Amino acid sequence: MCDASNSALGAVLGQRAGVGQPAHVIAYASRTMDQAQQNYTTTEKELLAIKSDAKPRLIRWMLLLQEFDLEIRDKKGAENSIVDHLSRIEKESEPMPIRDEFPNEQLLHIKSAAP
């Protein structure tokens, strides 16, 4: 899910266990837009949450996104409250690069023994 305001973007990456099931959050993201990006159309701003490289923008994004099995649906801000909130956070910050690889994280389980 993603949303764009006039000055920032918000996104939530989630996964559903099945059709009609609630989405489980994997990651949250938000960032401010530079002056040029603030002049983009709403569609271009929301695509920035998916892909941040913006040369010949839309065509390259569409070609890249065709490789994935994804569904993009429009939702009103009231139905998309988390990313709507993230897109409205105004914080001056340097853009952080998006990593292509993820760390090998493990969930540790601690078990207590009865005395």
Indicate the pLDDT class of residue 106, thresholds 50, 70 and 90.
low
Beta-strand ranges (E) seen in the chain are 2-4, 8-16, 23-32
Q: Report which residue type is found at 21.
A: Q
Indicate the pLDDT class of residue 49, thresholds 50, 70 and 90.
confident
Residue found under tokens 């493990």: 106
Mean pLDDT within 92-110: 62
Say which residues have a Cβ less than 8 Å from residue 104's Cβ, sequence separation at least 6.
none
Indicate the pLDDT class of residue 30, thresholds 50, 70 and 90.
confident
Q: Which range among 10-24, 33-47, 60-74 shows the weakest confidence by mean pLDDT?
A: 60-74
What does the mean pLDDT of the chain come to? 75
pLDDT at 100: 67
Taking CA atoms, 12 is separated from 72, 82, 86, in Å, by 13, 8, 9
Is it the case that residue 22 has pLDDT exceeding 70?
Answer: yes
Please state, for a pLDDT cut of 70, what percent of the chain lies above it: 70
Enter the pTM of the model.
Answer: 0.42
For the chain, domain boundaries: 2-87
pLDDT at 57: 66
